[in-house]
Amino acid sequence: MDRSNNFRTNYVGRMVGDKAECSRFQIEEQILREDSDVDLTKLAQFAFKHYVPKVHRVPIWKLLLRVSSTAPEVRKDITEHRIQEAEVLLSSLRAMRLNTARSDDNKELDTEYQPTAVDIVRMIKLGNETEEHDNDHALEMDFQAKLAIAEQMSIICESNWIDTFWLTKVFDELLSHIFTQNVLTEVVDNLKNQLIKAYAEMNDFDKFIWENMPMNFWIRCGGAVVFDHEPLLNLWDKVCSSADCGIIKLLSTVIYNYLIELKPYLARLQINDFALGKGILSIKTQNAIIKSSIDSILQSGKFCSKKYEI
């Protein structure tokens, strides 16, 4: 049984309560059909503990992040509203000549235009006029975090820029809500202390190296610049399905294990590089880092599954 079927069997088994009948159910019949009502709490639990099939990932994320509605009677209306809002923002961006494509300058606003990742971020910022930041550094980190997320979302959503826009927006809002400046500082300080202890046996290793390492950015963007696309999606499956406390624990654990794995290479890397070590570790190793991090959290009992209000 492949991982996709295993996910379906496990999920449907719990939903219908009879594993003998699981084979005649498809996951889309439970969570993706237009007339289905979704139990998000159960979906979140399974998305964390099991592999999420690629074909179902975008619809599942849209449900978990509340881009799509769980209630079939309003799902179509909400989808239409999402489309209209995104189209208005894109139209405004183009009217203001803030979009990135120079070849678009002479096109009519009603012609088809595929926004870039930078356009997506500018649309989000255009819709969040009340957004405030303490300083230019915080403003730049916020922009770069959104951009890193948008670039990954544009890959998974392929040509559907509206899904790219909404998933980037809500995923970034999730992370920015959790990782306030105070929380981010505390998480990174704890990470540095753990790493100093872990690297203590390397006598010639400069412990101040951690001061220049952009761990705060890695966490703020959910690891978007750290991992390759496939491992990153496996990580984000778990981010989308975790409660706030679980996301903090998950991302700090993953970044710690990533830097431990980089130990043999760290001395020759450019420490202040946002994408430190990108391409050095194989995809297999990256997946193993994420899996071991998840397993350790589950075994410790510190996993906080996302709970949804009815």
Which ranges of 117-227 does DSSP label H, i.e. alpha helix? 117-127, 136-157, 161-178, 181-198, 215-220
Q: How confident is the model at residue 228 (pLDDT cuts 50, 70, 90)?
A: very high
Q: Is residue 204 over pLDDT 80?
A: no
Predicted confidence at residue 19, as pLDDT, reads 44
Q: Using CA atoms, how far apart are residues 116 and 101, in angstroms rounded to an integer?
A: 8
**pLDDT for res 137:** 73
Selection from 72, 89, 80, 179 nearest residue 125 by Cα: 89
pLDDT tens-digit profile of 245-277?
999 999 999 999 999 998 888 777 766 566 666
pLDDT in tens, 11-70: 555 554 444 344 334 455 656 566 677 888 888 888 888 888 888 899 999 999 999 988
Note the pLDDT of residue 50. Answer: 83
What is the rounded CA–CA span in Å between residue 174 and residue 247? Answer: 10
pTM: 0.85
Classified as helix, coil or strand, 305 is: strand
Give me the helices (H) in 3-116, please: 3-16, 27, 40-49, 54-64, 72-95
